[in-house]
Amino acid sequence: MADVSSLVSRIDAEINAAKQSVADLQKQWAGDYQDRQKRLEAFEQTLGDLQDIWRPRLEALAKRFEGKVEVTPVIEPGWRSATFRFKSEVARIDLRFSVLTDDDVRNAIFEYDLHVIPIFMKFDSRSELKLPLDNIDRDAVADWVDERIISFVKTYLAIHQNSFYLKDHMVEDPIAKVRFPKYAAGATLDWKGKTVYFVGEETRQQFEREQAAAAAK
């Protein structure tokens, strides 16, 4: 029969092996973290180098809509964005350009997001350009930004052209204060013998709350 001390030795061997495995993993994780931080620093440098591509283009967009748009820039480590909020009686129009990196900091991801409420026509609401950080094609970035801006301008003009041709069918959300075609309403409410139209459930509920509060006074 084997000695108990042999069993103890085997137990200790397993424990020591587990400890060594954890230590090896910790060392690997530390190395991976340091490598990622170096890549993140390189990405930040890349963002700085690319500013001369997107900044004048976004500034040109803002200037063409001067007086009709508010621009909110966001600058955080590993992420840049600019949100354009357009003033319109027809719809809520928010456009965002952003650039960020993936979790492993291997690629630069350029994103375009356009939100229009209410939606009463088809349009390109999202686009993405993904490029490896070690091989950024500046011409591709410039072309992508240009095409997205032109796509937005076409959408913006189409929205307002549609509102002109549909003017006899336009209604106004009493909360959002935007006008839109009746068929594009996200919600409706029968109120005092007439139909009230809303861009969505959120404004409909807000309207009911305000009416209830007014009636309680």
CATH 3.30.1460 domain extents, the chain: 34-165
User: 114 by DSSP, 3-state: which?
Assistant: strand
The reported pLDDT for the residue numbered 139 is 96
> Among the CATH numbers 1.25.40, 1.10.3470, 3.30.1460, 2.60.120, which is that of 34-165?
3.30.1460
The pLDDT, as a whole number, for residue 178 is 85
Confidence of residue 1 (pLDDT cuts 50, 70, 90): low
pLDDT score at 2:
61
pTM, entire model: 0.67
Cβ 137 vs Cβ 129: under 8 Å: no
Average the pLDDT over 57-66 and give the result: 92
Answer for the pair 43, 133: CB distance below 8 angstroms, yes or no.
Answer: yes
pLDDT score at 164: 62
Q: Which pLDDT score, from 0 to 100, does residue 209 have?
A: 93
Asked if 91 and 159 touch (Cβ cutoff 8 Å), the reply is yes
User: φ and ψ at 213, to 5 degrees?
Assistant: -65, -40
Each residue of 169-191: pLDDT tens digit?
788 899 998 888 787 788 999 99
Q: Which residues contact 117 (CB under 8 A, 6 or more apart)?
A: 91, 92, 176, 178, 186, 199, 200
What mean pLDDT comes out for the span 26-51? Answer: 85
Q: How far apart are CA 125 and CA 1, in angstroms?
A: 75
- Span 10-19, mean pLDDT? 87
